[in-house]
Structure 1
């Protein structure tokens, strides 16, 4: 009986790992379906929703682990809260569409459910989860970037932007989401190349191409940040561990060449062109606005400040101001439990596309506490164990995975399309769960 149960659990755990590598296939199907047909049907969302349901039941019925009851209590509280959120908004919102609200809720809770599932799997599995999970993420990222490369070479790619800006997303649908996926996964690909070397560096180069090709600020920032972190750690490791000098010098040389190549290519890249286009649009708008000003000199600093803010946030501050207005006028019940998808809109819902802001205004003060509690818990665990066992935890693996987590949450705060996009939040949740358990078990 125990042997059968163990095999049953191992089967589920293998499925958890397999689910990592099929993510690019789901996103590819979504991209081709939405771009080439008139259908708005999302097969990937249905499959990912089934994942939540099936593996959520797995957490409830098939696992006995130390914090099982606490986890069940958390999800019970979350379920009760979501019911209250829907009920309040049904009566309070000027426009209420149940299907849209439920779809957004499923997207928003995907991260915390996935985080919980993989934390349990990594903590209790009998499989070699460390090697396999990172290996599967490496292969998934290689699939994403290879598809973008092939689509670019064959001239069959979809554009990242509908208007003047340049860049392409391969055969995927959303440049923001695919760019975010690659940004979160890039440290894992680089880590694998550093550990195994040789041909494993080829996917790193393909991935850098993909991040450049998409043409977003997020992708470019990821390349620079992760490469600089890896370079700095390698240099420090070279100084501290002289016994591995030959390998570290080789890694240092490769990283330096790639970073120099990145800087050399930057002026010719889609991101440079897009920033130029964005600034020219802002300058045209400012010229029109300045005609109405009596004294241009007084407002020059303000204009330049607004340009920088608009360049960084891509106009998201406009929607942020709109949701602040909704929140200020909302009753206490909505301030506590949220205004739902798009806020108290009267015509068409508009999200801010800055995830933590979207979560706050959509789910209110109480909802924000509930949804961010697992994130805060994991961050505290990582920091506590990382500081307590500093020497053991100070490794390539933990440093690069921590940079992946920092990138994920940083992008979520500034650019969105992370915590409310299941295809992206999945990878962030897996890596956060991995890092949390890894530093604890080190």
Structure 2
């Protein structure tokens, strides 16, 4: 099957991701289809990789053998999950479960497939490739916004332009994952015109989009690179072993220009309006509370009745955009489920009447909010939810149980441990910005997955975490094993 799968084909598949997302958006907005074109194409790609791994000979390569076992365990789990769902749940809603499991398990299956291919024929994932991919995404957002033909990021519930794409959270997460490569290329790459243009459009699109994640990725990466090169400069002064040649003043100038641009644009951006709208009251209460607690030390008087205190739970709920409310309900359902459900998961169409009305886990205001957000669906006098928590680790655990959780992360954890072991044995890797940026990028992606979701359980986004992982592997292990 090698003639149908090549490094060039995989590189092309990376580049067409923005086009897939664009076509999917336009189709979804104009046609009522149960399955999108993007999901179909990505599912076919995933299915082909499954077949590729299973028919590929390991030739005594232990990593390929392990990947084949990991993929086989995933497929066995999926088979059990679907059989259990068919015989124990409403079969008219089986499509929901199938879509859910395809979207969730896209990440580990494609990771297995591309890792096995990469063991035999190295995939050339360059910074330039990832910069070009981000540039396509951001250019579409930029053009749509300046021509006033864009779609709102949050419909009528907020501010921002998602360009001609569909889901602002997913596009924002993709941008966040690709931004570190763009910023590092601006420092390292000789093609400064392309990287400067890509970075300029990226800054503008990050502000237009109106979501926090790419903004924090852009600002955080910029600050990190400043700190990294200052430390590297100190290392160069005291080290006689291995020195890096770079212009510290130029790097700090470029990074400060990005930060100043972000600061100047921020007060006029949709992102600022969304923060004001969603967190303005909470921020004001925190400020008032801090001011109130600055009591004259001589009098030591504190009027508790007038203090507008803010609890930690309120802050966490606000930062996680009310995901903790969803998590509490699904957790309650999972804890009350049978041992089979705990092993294989409760699925994607979950009956939650007892958890809402009997157990009293939420109050009336929260119930009203959940109804407005579409978390609650009533079917035949039963109360269901088909909405994910959007905290990827919890969605995988509760929807797919303990067994699903284990087989899901087995391949990824094995690769990360393999990379970590090699880095520990040779700490000089930290002198290579490409390696460090890949590490930061993976940590960033996992941080987003565990706090905002839309990474591991979103095929369009998870694919770029896979590319970052394989790129890091190739940077660490220069030769194919």
Same fold (TM over 0.5): yes
SS at match of 1:441: coil
Structure 2 CA distance, aligned partners of 1:263 and 1:409?
A: 26
Q: Which residue of 1 aligns with 2:157?
A: 164
Q: Is residue 180–residue 219 contact of structure 1 (8 Å, CA) maintained in 2?
A: yes
Q: How far, CA to CA, are the matches of 1:191 and 1:411 in structure 2? A: 20
Matched residues in 2 for 1:314 and 1:248: separation?
A: 39
> Which residue is 2:333 aligned to?
326
User: Which has more helix, going by share of residues?
Assistant: 1
Residue aligning to 2:18: 24
Report the counterpart of residue 89 of structure 1 in structure 2. Answer: 85
CA distance in 2 between partners of 1:20 and 1:326 (Å): 38
Instruction: Tell me, yes or no, if the aligned pair for 2:351 and 2:385 is still in contact at 8 Å.
Output: no
Q: Matched residues in 2 for 1:61 and 1:271: separation?
A: 48
State how 1:108-123 maps to structure 2 within 5 Å: 108-123=104-119
Helix, strand or coil: the match of 2:346? coil
- 1:246 offset after TM fit, Å? 5.7
> Who is 1:189 aligned against?
182
Larger Rg: 2
For residues 309 and 163 of structure 1, the distance between their equivalents in structure 2, rounded to whole angstroms, comes to: 25
**Structure 1: 5+ residue stretches without partners:** 286-294
Question: Which residue is 1:288 aligned to?
Answer: none
- Taking the TM superposition and a 5 Å limit, the aligned residue runs for 1:246-395 are 247-280=247-280, 297=305, 300-301=308-309, 303-345=310-352, 346-395=383-432
Query: Secondary structure at the residue paired with 2:247?
Result: helix
Cα distance between partner residues in 2 of 1:364 and 1:185: 31
The counterpart of 1:153, out of the listed 129, 146, 170, is: 146
Equivalent of residue 134 in structure 1, options 117, 123, 127: 127
Q: 1:63 to 1:261 in 2, by over 3 A?
A: farther
Say whether the 8 Å CA contact 1:107–1:421 is kept in structure 2: yes
- Cα distance 1:224–1:422, how it changes in 2: closer, same or farther (>3 A)? same
Pair 1:39–1:87, CA change in 2 (3 A):
closer
Point out the more displaced range, 331-340 or 237-246.
237-246
Once the two structures are superposed, residues 132-181 of structure 1 have per-residue CA deviations (whole angstroms, 9 ceiling, x without a partner) of 54332221111000100001110001100023311111000000000000
Deviation at 1:433, TM superposition (A): 1.8
Deviation of 1:211 after TM superposition, in Å, equals 1.8
Partner of 2:362: none
Of residues 76, 83, 91, the one that matches 1:80 is 76
Counterpart pick for 1:14 among 8, 29, 32: 8
Query: Residue 36 of structure 1: CA displacement?
Result: 3.4
Residues 298 and 88 of structure 1: CA distance in aligned 2, closer, same or farther (over 3 Å): farther
Partner in structure 1 of residue 240 of structure 2:
none
In 1, the alpha carbon distance for the partners of 2:307 and 2:71 equals 51
Shift of the alpha carbon at 1:234?
Answer: 1.9
Distance 1:300 1:330, change over 3 A: farther
The alignment status of 1:104 with 2:141, answered yes or no, reads: no
Report what 1:203 is aligned to. Answer: 198
SS at match of 1:158: coil
Q: Secondary structure at the match of 2:6?
A: helix
TM-score by length of 1: 0.88
Counterpart CA distance in 2 for 1:259 and 1:283 is 23
Alpha carbons of structure 1 residues 51 and 111: separation in structure 2 relative to 1, 3 Å: same
Equivalent of 2:225, from 220, 226, 230? 230
Quick check: 2:58–2:65 contact (8 Å CA) kept in 1?
no
Question: Which deviates more, 355-364 or 201-210?
Answer: 201-210
**Cα-to-partner distance string for 1:166-197 (whole Å, 9 max, x where unaligned):** 11110000000000000001111122222225
How much has 1:244 moved relative to structure 2? Answer: 5.9
Secondary structure in 2 aligned to 1:347? strand
Equivalent-residue separation in structure 2 for 1:84 and 1:296 (angstroms): 57
Q: Scaled by the length of structure 2, what TM-score is found?
A: 0.81
CA distance, structure 2, for counterparts of residue 435 and residue 118 of structure 1: 13
CA RMSD of aligned residues (A): 2.7
